[in-house]
Amino acid sequence: MKVWVTQAPEKGKANQAVLEILAKSLGVRPSQLEIVSGQTSPHKRILVRGLNAREVAQRLKAGAHTDPKTG
């Protein structure tokens, strides 16, 4: 999944924005998400508490948006 944020990658602002977007897309609280690897990388692994892999995939598919760069 690709997520674009406008927050600067300083003091964790961009990471927090990513978690907020994912939380909204998944219908969970941001506190249920944790970046487990990739804190300083554009490629991240996110732990989602309270949902299994199938539920995550279904929710992401249901809430999929178009690429903001291409419309």
Does 70 fall in a domain? no
**Alpha carbon 12 to its chain's center:** 14
Please tell me the distance from the alpha carbon of residue 27 to that of residue 23, in angstroms, as a whole number.
Answer: 6
Query: Structure pTM?
Result: 0.79
Domain count, the chain: 1
Three state DSSP letters for 10-41: CCCHHHHHHHHHHHHHHCCCHHHEEEEECCCC
Report pLDDT digits (tens) over 11-28: 889 999 999 999 999 999
Identify the pLDDT of residue 4.
Answer: 84
Please tell me the distance from the alpha carbon of residue 53 to that of residue 71, in angstroms, as a whole number.
Answer: 28
Please check whether residue 27 is in contact with residue 18, taking contact to mean a CB–CB distance below 8 angstroms.
no
Identify the pLDDT of residue 70.
Answer: 47
Does 39 fall in a domain? yes
Local confidence pLDDT in tens for the 71 residues of the chain:
788 888 888 888 999 999 999 999 999 999 999 999 999 998 999 999 999 999 999 998 887 654 555 44
Domain span including residue 52: 13-62
Does 1 fall in a domain? no
Please tell me the distance from the alpha carbon of residue 9 to that of residue 29, in angstroms, as a whole number.
Answer: 22
